[in-house]
Structure 1
Amino acid sequence: MAVELCLLLLLCGSTISEVQPIYKPPPGTLDFGFVPAKTYDTGAYHEPGPIGILFKIVHSFLYLVQPNSFPQDLIRKLAQQKFGNTQGDYQKPENVVLTLQAIYYEIGFIVTAALGLLFILLLPLVGLCFCMCRCCDNCGGEMHQRQKKNADCQRSCFATFLFVASLIISVGVLCAYAANQHLTNQVRGAKKLVNSNFKDLKIFLNDTPAQIDYLVNQYNTTKDKALSELNNVGPLLGSRVQEQLGKEVHPALDAALTMAGVKVERAIKAIRETKEALENVSVSVEVLQEGTERLHANLTDVKMHLNNTLSDSACSAAQTASTCNIIRNSLNQLNINANFSGLPGVSSQLAKVNDVLKIDLSSLVQKGYAAFNDTPDLVVNQTRNILSDIKTVLESIGSNITTFTKTLPVQNILADLMVSLTQSEAYVQDYFPVVEQYDFYRWLGCLILCCMVVLILVFYYLGLLCGTCGYDKHASPTTRGCISNTGGNFLMAGVGFSFLFSWVLMIVVVLTFVTGGNIEKLVCEPFEDKTLFKVLDTPYLLNQDWKNYLSGILFKNPNINLTFEKVYSDCKENKGIYTSLHLEHMFNIEEFLNISMYTEDVALKIEHIQINLSKIILLDEIGKENLLNFSSSGIEGINFAAYLTEINKSVTKVDLLSFANDLEARADQLVKVKNVISAVNAAQLLINNNASLVIVQETKKYMDTIVGYFEQYVEWVKESIAMEVAACKPIANVIDTAVDIFLCSYITDSVNTFWFGLGSSSIFLIPAIIFAVKLSKYYRRMDTEDVYDDTENGNNGYHKEHLYGIHNPVFTSSVEQW
């Protein structure tokens, strides 16, 4: 694909000078088709489904905990700041400031984690103290219940609050279980997504050579079009030259066959009509001269007879004498006024016109037309050798393109990448069962944590169920039923397990909260808005000696402006990897497009394209002489005024006036014959001397048309390499799969939802403990109870004569057995 520009520069490299700016005709648009590309299977987008609502709730909670934006500058400074092992390094002012800034950013997590740690420390301690307190018959450990008037109201409130707390704990544990199960399901289904990414990467590597071959093969489209133009050099270049020269030649040739605007057929007719007019004039003059002689004789006889008649005696009479004298005096008017014998003859002019008609001027001019119309064939014959050389160059370029593409290190790089990809796929496939096994352990551990909460809930729900169903408000505290007493025992069992398990649950919650929350705020969110890439692209951050880390890794040149954000964005838009990774620094295609070695040679070939049109004869010497003879026939020298003068003297039988007018019109035409010859000579001079300029101009236009095809090919190759060849969408998909889907959607969101549900359950264990302890007093059977006198009524509706504690032997014996 490098050498196609070769021909472009070859053809553009001609050193033909231009006298005036040449219009560059837009070439036809070539259809190179579409670069073959397969569809990638991986959809780097995860839709969590209904659990996504929980994810959004957790994100909102994290926003409350950490509303600050991503600390780009802080992370850059922390990464670039060197903290030594000595205490003095940490006490440096700049390090202290950075530490305080980090604490300020993490204050939400720190406070929340501190509360969690306080929960972890205090709840077991409180549980221990509570247990010891009850063992000493304090903190509700004494099996004696004081009778209160609002006991029923308190019992109902405690039961309601405990039930609500249990419901909240249930919702939390369900969220935790759903998140745990969601993570396991996604891990099990991740194998399909991983295989899809590997499949796309293989397609990416396997299709790249085929795409390069397609670009190379499409040179044939350009070559075929250029060859077609070269094979039609006659109709294309020759016709253009003919068209430009025809602007001067055609008017001259037309003028040779046109007299005062009369076209070719009528021009010859005009000459013939001139001949006929001259013949008519000559005959008419002879007829007039003969008629004049006879008229003179007749007039003489008439005068003689009139004189004889006037000499008669009748004219002597007085009454007729005056009349006869008048007639006698008028006889002098019978003389002939017109002297036609003095009119000049036209025989010499008629003879010259006859000589002109002996030569077919039309055929001579048509020969000129034919010679000029043979310009395309003349161009073909005179450029055959030059164009053959150019065609040879075109044919050689195709093989050179193939040779150049084989020298590119693309094939070796793709082969190495394919080997590495195959090894990575094999490793992942082998390691995936291990991942699933460890995920099973994780799932089991999280399930155990959920079961701890479920166990506590079971005790609470059973306690509420048994206590509510078995409670008899008419029974005294010492005579409560077994079901009610069992309900109270379930509640106290739930309290005990709450103290045992809650701190363990909170340890897991704090650890996952700090880890998952910071991953969400410091990785997932900045990855989504690409601010994470901006941090990674910070100069000298990942390597203190490299300005640009990515270019330093790829090209061993950290000064190349290649950033993670740009590469990811380009690949996300499915641009070519050549453009995305700036691979021109590894193998620059522009260097392969440099064909200066061919420019000089082909430029000389183009300069040698010389078309000689001097053999074109528009009008030979015979034709020119014929026109000159016609122009010098002497018709313009005829004294038409003498004819008109004599005609105007008297009426004749012949209309000499029309003859004279016709001849005069012919004379007007004959005056312009010299201008026609001048135009023909000027056109011939243009062909012989100045046609080279027109040929140079039209040849440049013709070559620009051919060059335009190669410009299209080069631009198409560049655009295809930039946008279509080796489109790196799979690379962006791999990053999205690893970070956005696996790390953020699968793991982080699930873990955050897990600790959110488990944490809320753990927190609500505290009010549940309080309400359960309070409520159990109303369900359990007491050892002693308050006794009232006759005048006092207990709130249970029974009467006692004295208020004192009564021992319960049944409950005591049962306790001793336990």
Structure 2
Amino acid sequence: MALVLGSLLLLGLCGNTFSGGQPSSTDAPKAWNYELPATNYETQDSHKAGPIGILFELVHIFLYVVQPRDFPEDTLRKVIQKAFGPKINYDEPETVLLGLKIAYYEAGIILCSLLGLLFIILMPLVGYFFCMCRCCNKCGGEMHQRQKENGPFLRKCFAISLLVICIIISTGIFYGFVANHQVRTRIKRSRKLADSNFKDLRTLLNETPEQIKYILAQYNTTKDKAFLDLNSINSVLGGGILDRLRPNIIPVLDEIKSMATAIKETKEALENMNSTLKSLHQQSTQLSSSLTSVKTSLRGSLNDPLCSVRPTSETCNSIRLSLNQLNSNPELRQLPLVDAELNNVNNVLRTDLDGLVQKDYQSLNDIPDRVQSQTTSVVAGIKRVLNSIGSDINNVTQRLPIQDILSEFSGYLNNTESYMQRHLPTWEEYDSYWWLGGLVICSLLTLIVIFYYLGLLCGMCGYDRHATPTTRGCVSNTGGIFLMVGVGLSFLFCWILMIIVVLTFFVGANVEKMICEPYVSKELFRVLDTPRLLNEDWEYYLSGKLFNKSKIKLTFEQVYSDCKNNRGTYGTLHLENSFNISERLNINEHTESISNELENLKVNFNIFLLGAAGRKNLQDFAACGIDRMNYDTYLAQTGKSPAGVNLLSFAYDLEAKANPLPPGNLRNSLKRDAQTIKTIHQQRVLPIEQSLSTVYQSVKILQRTSNGLLEKVTRILTSLDFAQSFITNNISSVIIEETRKYGRTIIGYFEHYLRWIEFSIREKVASCKPVATALDTAVDVFLCSYVIDPLNLFWFGIGKATVFLLPALIFAVKLAKYYRRMDSEDVYDDVETIPMKNMENGNNGYHKDHLYGIHNPVMTSPAQH
């Protein structure tokens, strides 16, 4: 592994490395989550070019137009096979065909390069002959300008065309300056970028031992959780068993407890009712005696002589007729007592039904404590097994090859870092030479285009349309000279510039198409992953290098992708082929040891609900007779008045009748009897009414309890039989199921922990993301973004400027004639007509000192003057 990681790092940072992908991994269990501490890396995952990226993209589009064909994977495979194979025979048909395929793929680049070479060859020759021709007063070298009717139009067209071309050349120069500056600034950033990558790689080396320590530390957390459950076996296992029994037992016991409460309430109601009935009999007798006495007194008072005299006699007769109402209710003394029912209920209460129910409650609540007392030895055995698992896990993690391999990788890292430290200053020095050369090239082009701009500026500003070619001003003449200087510099240097453009284009375009683009699309990895490509004896190079088993499918693309996705080194490089963590941890073996100890976990309970005495007690209560009592009779009497009339109303009425009577014995005796009746109501009737209310309440309680009493008891006994049957038939299976559930919980902690260890070692520990990042930094960032992109932009800008120098110099030569001061010019005697015959003969010139004629126009050349 160290060899592969070292190779990735060395080759990556030097621009010659490989990488790969990621198989799917098993997700960590969700029951109890562990998580390795996050590792923060400094180097960014991606590089952003910024606003200048638009220019780089423009160059990429141009290269796509030049080279639109797909990456030639098959051709590159054959080239690599030829390179790694025996000595190449270039005369072989296969080699020739391979060369043709390469030429076909490179057709666009080759064609552009050939055009550049043609430019390089022809421009010096054209410049030489142009110079010689000009020296011989040919090719526009003669300082004489023929005047044409469309001369002003041509001058304007030449000037505008040259201006547009100069602007285009200026944009190319701008691209060149920007690219040159980018190379310098980005190379300066390379040191910081390299340091960042090395820091991340050292973080990988330093964090791996800490991650393994963290994994081991989590075993103590898992063991503490298991020990907590083992120490709390009474609440965990016992509570689980109790929770399974409660739904079938507690409702029955609650009903029996309610029935026990009802029996006590029945006894209290019967006692209250019986004592109240006895008191009621006595009170009714006393009321009857009191009413008889007051009636006798009233009859004696009504025998007064005044009762025979009108109108007193009418009052007396009225009172005498109402005396029959002063009677007590004789049925109150006939209400039967409830002694028999009370005795039956007292006999029922001789058995403490509530105590029996409480014992059953206590039997259930004692289950957790009984579980703990019966499992002490088994819990101790499980703890011993768990402690031994911890030592086994420690031994396995100590034998992991990751740390040893990373230690070896540390050597490769140190060598690479020292190599970078030694050579980076050299690269920076070369970069300064390149920057200086690029600056000279861009400055030279700038100088040429400045001459063109100055020529246009002076020419257009100094041009006088009224001046003849021989009388043009100094400014205009200077503009023409500037244009010709620009033409001379163009001929002198453009072919040299094109040499630089062709060389940089050929290198930059091929690197972009053969390395940068296929690296991003991973086509380069697929080529490297071709079976038996790098070594004809190995089907897969990496698996042959790592395990000497080339049949194992371990590819550069998979390794790179896995590292890019932050996968662990173990899973990335398929180290299970040399150290199988699953077999070493052997989850089933460890959990089987715990299971074996849990097999000894035996818990026994004997629970008998209520017992025979309790059942008989319920049956006796159902037969106590309260359901056969005639409650309607009692309720009917409690609704009646104790006396035949409302004594208080009777007394007030008697007083009202006595008040109109004349003072005397009759009046006084009647008032005295009225007061006696009030006293009887207060002392006799009100207590009887209170007793009747007590009887009513007791009857209602008994009526409510006795309503469906037999059915209630029968239902309770049926439920009790069902609960007891459930306990008898299912208690063993409940204990077994809860014991297994408890065992699965304990085992689950360690299964989850062991699977997390396997998952973490396979997917998380020693994540090789910094290696993939270093590779991206070396190839995608440093080579492609820092070097090739500016290089391509440089040749693109300089090449555009150089190519447009050709039309620029043509228009500059044409335009210079209109700005420079001529030695001779065309002169006419009659400027309105020019004989076509003489024009065709070429005699269209005049000496500058010739006087214009006033008759027939005659053309005179300077030689005829």
TM-score, length-scaled by structure 2: 0.68
Match of 1:564 in 2: 556
Match of 2:89 in 1: 86
Picking from 782, 786, 806, the partner of 1:746 is 786
Does structure 1 conserve the Cα–Cα contact (< 8 Å) formed by 2:455 and 2:482? Answer: yes
Does structure 2 conserve the Cα–Cα contact (< 8 Å) formed by 1:550 and 1:562? Answer: yes
The reply on whether 1:71 has 2:63 as its aligned counterpart is no
Gaps of 5+ in 1: 1-26, 278-346, 641-661, 809-818
Does structure 2 conserve the Cα–Cα contact (< 8 Å) formed by 1:242 and 1:375? Answer: yes
In the TM superposition, residue 598 of structure 1 has moved relative to its aligned partner by 4.3
Where do residues 746-785 of structure 1 align in structure 2 (5 Å cutoff)?
Answer: 746-782=786-822, 784-785=823-824
Does structure 2 conserve the Cα–Cα contact (< 8 Å) formed by 1:386 and 1:605? Answer: yes
In the TM superposition, residue 449 of structure 1 has moved relative to its aligned partner by 1.9
In the TM superposition, residue 384 of structure 1 has moved relative to its aligned partner by 0.6
In the TM superposition, residue 379 of structure 1 has moved relative to its aligned partner by 0.9
Picking from 500, 515, 535, the partner of 1:508 is 500
Picking from 483, 488, 491, the partner of 1:496 is 488
Picking from 491, 496, 512, the partner of 1:520 is 512
In the TM superposition, residue 700 of structure 1 has moved relative to its aligned partner by 0.6
Separation in 1, partners of 2:808, 2:222:
83
CA-to-aligned-CA distance 1:43-73 (integer Å, 9 cap, x gap): 2433333322322221222222122233334
- For residue 812 of structure 2, what is the amino acid of its counterpart? A
Distance 1:242 1:514, change over 3 A: same
Match of 2:190 in 1: 190
Distance 1:776 1:624, change over 3 A: closer
Does structure 1 conserve the Cα–Cα contact (< 8 Å) formed by 2:826 and 2:846? Answer: no
Separation in 2, partners of 1:406, 1:136:
92
Where do residues 365-514 of structure 1 align in structure 2 (5 Å cutoff)?
Answer: 366-471=358-463, 477=469, 483-514=475-506
In the TM superposition, residue 599 of structure 1 has moved relative to its aligned partner by 5.0
Does structure 1 conserve the Cα–Cα contact (< 8 Å) formed by 2:56 and 2:793? Answer: yes
Separation in 1, partners of 2:546, 2:402:
15
Distance 1:168 1:686, change over 3 A: closer
CA-to-aligned-CA distance 1:89-144 (integer Å, 9 cap, x gap): 1x24xx55544443333222222222111111111122222223333332233344
Does structure 2 conserve the Cα–Cα contact (< 8 Å) formed by 1:516 and 1:752? Answer: yes
Where do residues 131-530 of structure 1 align in structure 2 (5 Å cutoff)?
Answer: 131-245=131-245, 263-266=259-262, 360=352, 362-364=354-356, 366-471=358-463, 477=469, 483-530=475-522
Picking from 780, 789, 805, the partner of 2:862 is 805
In the TM superposition, residue 791 of structure 1 has moved relative to its aligned partner by 4.5
Separation in 1, partners of 2:781, 2:88:
38
Match of 2:571 in 1: 579
Does structure 1 conserve the Cα–Cα contact (< 8 Å) formed by 2:134 and 2:140? Answer: yes
Q: Secondary structure at the match of 1:446?
A: helix
Does structure 2 conserve the Cα–Cα contact (< 8 Å) formed by 1:787 and 1:803? Answer: no
Q: Secondary structure at the match of 1:218?
A: helix
Answer with 377-386 or 718-727: which moved more. 718-727
Separation in 1, partners of 2:619, 2:475:
147
Separation in 1, partners of 2:614, 2:780:
96
Does structure 1 conserve the Cα–Cα contact (< 8 Å) formed by 2:562 and 2:572? Answer: yes
Does structure 2 conserve the Cα–Cα contact (< 8 Å) formed by 1:37 and 1:207? Answer: no
Match of 1:30 in 2: 32
The reply on whether 1:549 has 2:510 as its aligned counterpart is no
Does structure 1 conserve the Cα–Cα contact (< 8 Å) formed by 2:846 and 2:862? Answer: no
Distance 1:718 1:404, change over 3 A: closer
Match of 1:49 in 2: 50
**Alignment size in residue pairs:** 683
Separation in 2, partners of 1:54, 1:350:
110
Picking from 595, 617, 639, the partner of 1:603 is 595
Does structure 1 conserve the Cα–Cα contact (< 8 Å) formed by 2:587 and 2:751? Answer: no
Distance 1:433 1:204, change over 3 A: same
Does structure 1 conserve the Cα–Cα contact (< 8 Å) formed by 2:543 and 2:549? Answer: yes
Separation in 2, partners of 1:175, 1:474:
42
Does structure 2 conserve the Cα–Cα contact (< 8 Å) formed by 1:42 and 1:200? Answer: yes
Answer with 187-196 or 211-220: which moved more. 211-220
Separation in 2, partners of 1:127, 1:35:
73
Picking from 763, 770, 793, the partner of 1:730 is 770
Match of 2:41 in 1: 40
Picking from 514, 521, 524, the partner of 1:532 is 524
Q: Secondary structure at the match of 1:204?
A: helix
In the TM superposition, residue 756 of structure 1 has moved relative to its aligned partner by 1.0
Does structure 2 conserve the Cα–Cα contact (< 8 Å) formed by 1:474 and 1:797? Answer: no
- For residue 75 of structure 1, what is the amino acid of its counterpart? L
Distance 1:364 1:177, change over 3 A: closer
Separation in 2, partners of 1:561, 1:235:
52
Gaps of 5+ in 2: 1-28, 274-339, 629-701, 833-844, 853-858
TM-score, length-scaled by structure 1: 0.72
- For residue 64 of structure 1, what is the amino acid of its counterpart? V
Q: Secondary structure at the match of 1:70?
A: coil
Distance 1:471 1:798, change over 3 A: farther
Match of 1:13 in 2: none
In the TM superposition, residue 508 of structure 1 has moved relative to its aligned partner by 1.3
Q: Secondary structure at the match of 2:605?
A: coil
CA-to-aligned-CA distance 1:259-280 (integer Å, 9 cap, x gap): xxx7124457889999999xxx
In the TM superposition, residue 215 of structure 1 has moved relative to its aligned partner by 2.5
CA-to-aligned-CA distance 1:297-317 (integer Å, 9 cap, x gap): xxxxxxxxxxxxxxxxxxxxx
- For residue 803 of structure 1, what is the amino acid of its counterpart? T
CA-to-aligned-CA distance 1:536-592 (integer Å, 9 cap, x gap): 333233333332233333443332222333333333333333333333334332123
Percent sequence identity is 49
Separation in 2, partners of 1:273, 1:470:
136
In the TM superposition, residue 670 of structure 1 has moved relative to its aligned partner by 9.9
Match of 1:128 in 2: 128
Distance 1:505 1:787, change over 3 A: closer
Separation in 1, partners of 2:539, 2:545:
11
Answer with 241-250 or 485-494: which moved more. 241-250
Distance 1:714 1:401, change over 3 A: closer
Separation in 1, partners of 2:715, 2:172:
111
Separation in 2, partners of 1:715, 1:499:
76
Q: Secondary structure at the match of 1:562?
A: coil
Distance 1:670 1:471, change over 3 A: closer
Separation in 1, partners of 2:454, 2:103:
46
- For residue 86 of structure 1, what is the amino acid of its counterpart? N
Distance 1:554 1:778, change over 3 A: same
Does structure 2 conserve the Cα–Cα contact (< 8 Å) formed by 1:474 and 1:796? Answer: no
Does structure 2 conserve the Cα–Cα contact (< 8 Å) formed by 1:786 and 1:805? Answer: no
- For residue 696 of structure 1, what is the amino acid of its counterpart? I
Does structure 2 conserve the Cα–Cα contact (< 8 Å) formed by 1:548 and 1:560? Answer: yes
Over the residues paired in the alignment, what is the CA RMSD in angstroms? 4.6
In the TM superposition, residue 510 of structure 1 has moved relative to its aligned partner by 1.3
In the TM superposition, residue 165 of structure 1 has moved relative to its aligned partner by 2.5
Q: Secondary structure at the match of 2:68?
A: coil
- For residue 70 of structure 1, what is the amino acid of its counterpart? F
Does structure 2 conserve the Cα–Cα contact (< 8 Å) formed by 1:197 and 1:730? Answer: yes
Q: Secondary structure at the match of 2:772?
A: helix
In the TM superposition, residue 750 of structure 1 has moved relative to its aligned partner by 0.8
In the TM superposition, residue 506 of structure 1 has moved relative to its aligned partner by 1.0
In the TM superposition, residue 218 of structure 1 has moved relative to its aligned partner by 2.1
In the TM superposition, residue 39 of structure 1 has moved relative to its aligned partner by 2.6
Picking from 580, 583, 586, the partner of 1:594 is 586
Does structure 2 conserve the Cα–Cα contact (< 8 Å) formed by 1:476 and 1:796? Answer: no
Match of 1:330 in 2: none
Does structure 1 conserve the Cα–Cα contact (< 8 Å) formed by 2:826 and 2:847? Answer: no
